[in-house]
Amino acid sequence: MSHPSRSSEPCPSQEAIRARCFHPSGSFSEFKKGEIEQSIPDRFETIVRQYPNQLAVKMGDRALTYDELNRAANGIARAILKEGGPGKESIALLFEHGIDVITAIVGVIKAGKCYVALDPSFPKERNSYILEDSQARLIVTNERNANVTRVLAHDSSVLVNIDEIADPVSSNNLGLCISPDDTAIIVYTSGSTGEPKGVVQSHRIPLYYGFTYAGQLYTTCDDRFTLLHSVSFASAEVHLYRSLLNGGALFPFDLKSEGVHRLAHWLEEEQITICHLPTAVFRQLADALPGQQKLSHLRVVHLSGAPITQSDFELYKTQFPAETSFALHMGSTETAGICSAVADHSFSFPSEGAPIGYPYPGKKIFLLDENGQEVGPGEIGEIAVKSRYLAVGYWRRPDLTRAKFLPDPDGGDERIYLTGDLGRMLPDGFLIHLGRKDFMVKIRGYRVEPGEIERALLSHPQIKAVGVVAWDREPGEKYLAAYVVPRQNPPPTIAQLYDFLKTKLPDYMMPSTFVFLESLPLTNGKLDRRALPEPGKSRPDLDTPFVAPRTLVEKELAQIWAEVLSLDQVGVHDNFLELGGHSLVASQVISRVIKSFQLDLPLQSLFQAPTVADMAVIITENQAKKVGQEEMARMLAELEPLSDEQAQRLLLQEMPQVKE
């Protein structure tokens, strides 16, 4: 079977926009296509030799140059080889978001191993499954996560604590012979069978990231890149390797603890030039930008993780200057990028679907019908990608690998991956994304298979049947609804279901609402998801009785929560998480609280005080403290020009309680 295809070809309008993408320093150095055919350590060590004193990674007050990062990674690599010996087995990483995990990643790869990143915020059950399935017998961590790692490992795994590595350990390069075909990464994504599945990537894929982004955006050693995603997700690889394999500086930022409301200030403070962020985060960032703040150093804003809407593009034009380019993109863990384009304010947004651009170099795009035949011009078909730059396959799942990765019908070394996404090709080769064939969805930029959530819920002893569906909260932003048939009445409470699920699923897979039904709609014995009722905006049936707001502060907070969570009303004792709240929604709430009450509150305050009543207490206390500080400042200003005797007399008048 052979198909005509659409390959990457120069587009005059794209070339004109990209010609304006060069960094002002003019320091662009080409990443040649032939340089993909090497190992990650070989390329990285070349960059270290070119830019030894250049900033490699920075978070807060801590920073490493390329030489420092290389030396630290070499020490970790030697510690791994000492404990685990030679071989190409998988190594698990368990770190918080930051510099340590980046150093450990480079160390694992330099040791000739492949890494699988766990996440301390994931439930123990999920991390345990990934650890067992990946067959990792050695876990690399730091002192901060050592206790959690010991509990996870039991006695079956060897631990390497990077904070305990003897100093001095030789920091010279190891010089191991590593092929671009060797496995470098196993990334776990949501699985339709109910369990996460591992996607295997060779060294060639991260090098391909470095090559494509250098060529598409002219990335340089003077660029400063964001790292907003956890390294346990494929999205982080793009940021990580396009930076470290081109000599740029990488800046991790912890959205979960810092919140989107602090992101704009951080981008300006760190002089970020290329910002890659989930579409949902972009919307909040654009809304949070002060009227006059235009992020003067930002030359590219790059969205991924969810389809881009017309309103997203309008936000870009309104909130970002014409000098800042708007990068479009579509990819997946399996494909390492499919299409991309660079837009500016003059871009014409399509009337239907989401624009994703032209094929990446080395990628050929087909649109296929249900019979595997290419559709006609302008028709809709499943997006298939032909390339040698695809993931190796699925870890320990040869059946799934054969089903999704097809051999080259022409007998070459390329393969075809069936994405499950629908698209339509414009006459010039520009691809429009038109949704999914199956039920997989993107939630806050993460790939989610509803079947995995359904399986977790069905393990609850009081649940008979369940269906999970994604609904649009607003254009381009989805939320999950779980439809539950209980085995008996009364059914489990929402609080009980939430507590049960949080031991099994990460927060981005938690349903925002639960709907109890007597039975699920079926067609031919299968769940008819389209017949499930949309939840609407009614307050969930919580086990907490509804109590209306009693004070002005509570009324203002309840209104903010209701508007952000798209609910008709919120009680003062309703738990934020049980109402469908999560870290991204929490950022919106805190941003509005800061504006309404003129207080600077950390994101964590919402999780420490997860009800309107609790949050009202914090706000009232902070307001009183602020008034007290302002009054004290006023008094000190009045005292400054006075003599000691006059100052004492004024203090006694203002603060009579100090009199005996």
Domains and CATH numbers, the chain: 449-531 (3.30.300.30), 552-633 (1.10.1200.10)
pLDDT tens for each residue of 424-456: 999 989 999 998 888 888 888 888 999 899 989
Asked whether the CA dihedral 216, 222, 228, 233 is positive or negative, the reply is: positive
Which residues sit opposite 325 in a β-bridge? 300
Going by the DSSP 8-state scheme, the letter that residue 474 receives in this structure is E
3-state DSSP call for residue 372?
Answer: coil
pLDDT of the residue at 481: 95
pLDDT of the residue at 658: 37
Cα gap 461→183, rounded to integer Å:
40
| Bridge pairing between strands 405-407 and 393-394 | unpaired
Token pair for residue 212?
């494509």
| Bridge pairing between strands 463-474 and 393-394 | unpaired
pLDDT of the residue at 56: 98
Token pair for residue 534?
């949309």
**Which residue intervals of 166-323 are DSSP H helices?**
204-217, 234-244, 255-258, 263-269, 279-288, 310-319
Nearest to 589 by CA among 353, 288, 297, 373: 288
In sequence order, the 6+-apart residues with CB closer than 8 A to the CB of 4 are 374
Going by the DSSP 8-state scheme, the letter that residue 603 receives in this structure is T
Cα gap 210→160, rounded to integer Å:
29
Angstrom CA distances, 608 to 257, 376, 577, 612, stand at 12, 56, 11, 12
Q: For residue 647, how far is the Cα from the chain centroid?
A: 57
Token pair for residue 311?
């309103």
Whether the bond between 361 and the residue before it is cis, its omega within 30 degrees of 0, is: no
pLDDT tens for each residue of 604-621: 889 899 999 999 999 998
Cα gap 467→324, rounded to integer Å:
43
Please state, for a pLDDT cut of 90, what percent of the chain lies above it: 63
pLDDT of the residue at 291: 64
581 and 613 Cβ atoms separated by less than 8 Å: no
Low-confidence spans in the chain with pLDDT less than 70: 1-10, 167-169, 290-293, 475, 628-660
In sequence order, the 6+-apart residues with CB closer than 8 A to the CB of 210 are 31, 43, 241, 242, 245, 246
pLDDT of the residue at 572: 95
Cα gap 586→608, rounded to integer Å:
12
Place of tokens 């993109």: 329
Cα gap 122→119, rounded to integer Å:
5
3-state DSSP call for residue 565?
Answer: helix
pLDDT of the residue at 57: 98
Record the pTM: 0.86
3-state DSSP call for residue 255?
Answer: helix
Q: For residue 336, how far is the Cα from the chain centroid?
A: 16
| Bridge pairing between strands 158-161 and 463-474 | unpaired
Place of tokens 């075809």: 416
User: What φ, ψ does residue 150 adopt, rounded to 5°?
Assistant: -65, -40
Asked whether the CA dihedral 315, 320, 321, 324 is positive or negative, the reply is: negative
Token pair for residue 102?
């980046």
In sequence order, the 6+-apart residues with CB closer than 8 A to the CB of 537 are 566, 567, 568
In sequence order, the 6+-apart residues with CB closer than 8 A to the CB of 58 are 64, 99, 249, 250, 251, 270
Nearest to 272 by CA among 232, 245, 243: 243
In sequence order, the 6+-apart residues with CB closer than 8 A to the CB of 10 are none
Cα gap 384→372, rounded to integer Å:
10
In sequence order, the 6+-apart residues with CB closer than 8 A to the CB of 467 are 450, 454, 482, 483, 520, 527, 529, 532
Q: What is the helix (H) or strand (E) element at residue 562, kind and residue range?
A: helix 552-565
Token pair for residue 430?
């520009």
Cα gap 570→645, rounded to integer Å:
55
Token pair for residue 2?
């052979």
Cα gap 637→321, rounded to integer Å:
42
- Category of 393 on φ-ψ map: left (φ > 0), alpha (ψ -120 to 50) or beta: left
